[in-house]
Amino acid sequence: MEYSKQLTAHATPIPGLTLFDVPLHGDNRGWFKENWQRRRMTEIGLPDFGPVQNNISFSTAPGTTRGIHAEPWDKYISVATGSVFGAWVDLRQGSTFGTVFTAVVDPSIAVFVPRGVGNAFQSLEDNTAYTFLVNEHWSAEAKAQYSFLNLADETVAIDWPIPLDQAELSTKDRDHPRLADVMPMSPARLLVLGATGQLGRELKRQLANRPGIEFLGRDRFDLADPAAVGAVDWRQVGTVVNAAAYTAVDEADTTDGGRAAWAANAEGVARLASACAQHHVTLIHVSTDHVFDGTKDGAYTEADALCPANAYGTSKAAGDLAVGIVPKHYLLRASRVIGEGENFVRTTHSLAAQGERATVVADQFGRLTFTEDLVAAIVHLRNSGAPYGTYNVTNAGAPASWADVARRVYERSGRPASDVMETTTDAYAAGIRAAPRPLNSVLDLSKLEATGFTPRDQWEVLDAYLGVRAAEIDSLPSR
């Protein structure tokens, strides 16, 4: 064993499998080491994997051989006494399936083994204590999700220091399948909640052909139902995109609507966030400009204090705070979301197509957020390695009032802009039940753009969106 090593991380041919040199401090009494040091090790590349169980496998004599087992969780292995020959085989679905890495592990070495990588070892000394931390509790149900590979598989051809016919193996390990018969372990699933809403439909349109994604509507996962989170096997989930929410802004200001908004947007999101934090799941959560009251002079940044103007915004702000407890989270704040479903642009286009005039507020300013671009931002943040945290996500361009948007819709529909009459928020709400709205919904996009994502101009996308809507109307049968 070496006493002069510095804490160092070494990549291997298997993606995510990382070997660490661990400093040993020795004298005439023996040695000491910090076997797992969260802060220092995460700084040099160890995932912050959150171990919940510590196991020790003791071998009395050289030649004890165990594996090859791939579990549905991450683990961090090391040796307390003795030494082992470690062997790892990638049993995950993908191009690196079957890739092999081997190393001798003594107390000065540790290895991080990601989910789905097969792990095996052979003791090289008497009284070897092999230790490992895992980030899920073992259960019989979890063991049913293992993948196994035969230690003697000819394809991976591991060169065991002690030939297997001279080694000590269990009957089960001798009977594991060859590589050609191994079912690769699927990646951790991506769950999309709210799959039937405007954003959920666009997520499904863009992502449905990718493996390992499950789309859940309210009928299968109701945020307001306290039992929904407990019905998910979180060990199989890697990412959740929460596109579900209670969005009836005016109704949320009533007694019943307020309860429903709080149940879904606050309590439901808090339960979801707790589960994601506990199981190391990445949570991508979509929020709203309504968490601000709209009185700021200038665009809202991600650092601005929450100050909702209505009950809907209050429930969403509470959900935002809950999401903040999840170590791996992206919180996306959008405004004026436009996609497939009922929305302002679609309604206005229908009025224009029918030759009707419209009265629209002219003192609320912001930018449209098209679901196509919102999904693109979600994919970019998840796949680019962007820092976790809160991001404003809207389309780009000069802020506009709702009346400005309506005029553009009318003009692109072949109607005169003068068919749009302006009003104020107060005048529009007079005599009807309407929740307060933020007058300024402009969100600063600098933080998002710094990650390398540039949103498209809202007018460019609006024109394209209206082209699709016009084609839909033209295709309708005449009455």
E-only strand ranges, 314-353: 329-334, 337-338
Q: Pick left, alpha or beta for residue 68 (phi over 0 → left; psi -120 to 50 → alpha; otherwise beta).
A: beta
| Two structure tokens written together for 108 | 């000065």
The sign of the dihedral angle between the CA atoms of 383, 237, 70, 38 is: positive
What CA–CA distances, in Å, run from 409 to 202, 283, 362, 401?
A: 22, 35, 15, 13
Q: Which residues lie below 8 Å from residue 48, measured CB to CB, with a gap of 6+?
A: 38, 42, 327
Give φ, ψ of 462 to 5 degrees: -60, -45
* Residue position matching structure tokens 């994601």: 276
Catalytic positions are 312
| Two structure tokens written together for 452 | 């390398």
* d(C-alpha 311, C-alpha 208), whole Å: 34
The sign of the dihedral angle between the CA atoms of 190, 193, 194, 199 is: negative
Q: Are 20 and 14 in contact (CB under 8 A)?
A: no
* d(C-alpha 448, C-alpha 391), whole Å: 6
Length of the chain: 479
* Residue position matching structure tokens 């994502």: 453
* d(C-alpha 397, C-alpha 457), whole Å: 5
| Two structure tokens written together for 83 | 């030494």
Q: Which residues lie below 8 Å from residue 406, measured CB to CB, with a gap of 6+?
A: 348, 358, 360, 420
* d(C-alpha 158, C-alpha 98), whole Å: 11
Q: If we measure between CA atoms, which residue out of 233, 169, 229, 389 comes closest to residue 301?
A: 389
E-only strand ranges, 73-114: 75-81, 84-90, 100-105, 109-113
On the CB side of 397, CA atoms within 13 Å amount to 19
* d(C-alpha 225, C-alpha 223), whole Å: 5
* d(C-alpha 441, C-alpha 295), whole Å: 9
| Two structure tokens written together for 313 | 């915004």
Q: Which residues lie below 8 Å from residue 318, measured CB to CB, with a gap of 6+?
A: 262, 265, 266, 269, 270
